Chain A
Amino acid sequence: MIRTYSKLFALLVAMGVMAGCSSTGGTQEEGAYGSDVSAVDQEGGSEVYGGEGSSGVSSQTMTDEERAAQAEQAAQQEQAAMRKITTFYFDFDTSEIKSESRDVLIAHAKYLAANPNRSVRLEGHADERGTKEYNLALGERRAKAVERFLVVNGASRDQIETISYGEEKPAVMGHDESAYAQNRRVELIYQ
């Protein structure tokens, strides 16, 4: 979220600066602009900028609604990008959602809330260590932890189906921590 706002802020600042610079220079009093742009203007105003300021002019008249729509579009793009992430990892013998998974899961939850006809299947998995039946239960607990998180953030329980495969379907073959870390996961699959 923080990233979204900071991008938006940069965009608005840029638009404001362009609008100012492209207004017909020369006639304006010195110091009418902020100190950071006044020096530029002293060089000859619109001449310096060639006067082709139509885009700047139009942006000056951008309404709050348009601005909000633009922000919304940027946010949606950001959310769509986040939703490309569909695998969430866990530590050994835990079903605690990691902090790095939260924003992405919130993006999925919002999308589900906005699209009640969409549904997801959550597949819980464990690494190969420990016992198979306990790992089945652990995989289920991971899937249910993700389900709960999605529901708390706006998705409906009816949109979510969970299943656990325990240690039966590793993402990566191998018997070391790097393989294990990739296998302790919940996969979110849009149906």
Chain B
Amino acid sequence: MMRVIVTMVLAACIALPVHAELMIRITEGADNAIPVAVVPFGKADGFQPSENISQIVHEDLAMSGEFKPLATERMLSLPTNGDDVFYRDWRLLGQKYLLVGQVQPAGGDKVSARYELFDVNREKRIMGETASVASNNLRTLAHHISDKVYEAITGNKGVFSTRIAYVTLDMENGKRIYRLNVSDVDGKRASVRLKSSEPILSPAWSPDGKKLAYVSFETGRPAIYIQELANGKRTRIAQFPGLNSAPAWSPDGDSLLMTLSRDGNAEVYKMDVASRKLTRMTDHWAIDTEPDWSPDGDSFLFTSDRSGGPQIYMMDADGGDLRRLTFGSRYNARPRFSPDGEHIFYVHQRDSYFHIARMNIESGEETILTRTKLDESPSVAPNGRLLIYATQEGGKSVLAVISADGGSNYILPSRFGDVREPAWSPFLN
């Protein structure tokens, strides 16, 4: 009866670098993108930093879709501090904002950057700061500067210092190899956290950003694990008969919603992480799965085919007030709340294609956000401005990032095989 299933799990890793690093291709920005000039930062004489910080800031701002950074070769001057700025030069080039700065060694193993942001029209310095990091961590410093610039101009927190988790699938010597990875939001600094010859699915960040819950088939059967990112320590928290899938953290991080079929068919359960106590949340002969907790913790979303095909429902966390939210087509699934709890993002079938759509919960107004087909696994950035999802390009699965109000921003293909199941981290501070 019991068949020995040989599974290759090179165990959970604290961080294995490289292989799964993604490339980035920026596709387009918003029509009303804000013109900003990021002037190449000055460097102390003879200092050779390992990363080009101002170039990373330039790319971050372009990647957001909300900015249109000026190409360096069009700049009329290259100031590195406020005293050298001639506003007229930048007004001529139609720039609204200007970032200048300098990078220098800061003693020990540290590097610091002093940078200033100017409002060109008001001829005013609106932000300035000196920040330092370990010299092998310059991308962290660059993303920090991008976040500060983004927030100073838009009033919203930037997400350039957040991270994404995703799963890659490669064929190696005729075998399927799955890897769970974590990288920066531009696909850089990727590291492998789990490798297996059996499927890995549904990574979900804990609200403090320190743990990932996910589904792995490494024992031959699906089970839900929680893995601490700092040390690779992990715990198998659910391996009941049948399905163990779709983990979703509560906003306080104390419990997980998950899909189990231990009582016959797919139902949503709540598990208290400390005690492992289970509470059944749904009770229907249809499929109930893909839960997502509301940001205030008062309710949750899930997919159910109780109407005949998959549709999205919302229920109070105490099990009351069941409401069907989607009616627009025969297939609506895998919902995710926006961080403010006002919208949901989900997979929506139109004709024979699957797109990502957004709905205002209050009004029911539905907007289809993507032009790609076969889209799945939407995950919203913690500032609610961007959305990452998986789609197909050239027969391969790739990740794509779009503005949460539409417009394609960038694509993250894997150098080798497929990349799927993206999950955007919370703010990591």
Contacts and interface: CB of A to CB of B under 8 A. Distances in A.
A177 B334 CA distance: 23
A83 interface: no
Interface stretch (A10-18, A33-41, A126-134): A126-134
Contacts, number: 93
Given A130-B331, A133-B246, A133-B259, A175 B374 contact: yes
Nearest to B335: A131
A171 interface: no
A163 B377 contact: no
Interface string B183-200: 000000000000000010
B1 to A, nearest CB: 5
Contacts of A164: 222, 243
Contact of B354 (A130, A138, A165): A130
Interface string B230-263: 0000000000001101100000000000010100
B376 A137 contact: no
B54 interface: no
Q: Is the interface of A mostly helix, strand, loop or mixed?
A: mixed
A164 B242 CA distance: 8
Contact of A131 (B217, B222, B242, B334): B334
* Size band of the interface chain B makes with A: 35 or more
B421 interface: yes
A93 B309 contact: yes
B357 interface: no
A121 interface: yes
A91 interface: no
A131 B354 CA distance: 9
A134 B392 contact: no
In order of increasing CB-CB distance, the 6 nearest A-B pairs are A137-B266, A131-B334, A168-B199, A137-B287, A133-B246, A131-B333
Interface of A: 93, 119, 121, 128-134, 136-138, 140-141, 144, 161-166, 168-169, 175, 191
Given A128-B374, A131-B347, A168-B217, 18 more contacts: A119-B1, A130-B333, A130-B354, A130-B376, A131-B376, A132-B202, A132-B376, A133-B259, A133-B303, A134-B310, A136-B245, A140-B261, A163-B220, A163-B222, A166-B201, A168-B199, A175-B392, A191-B3
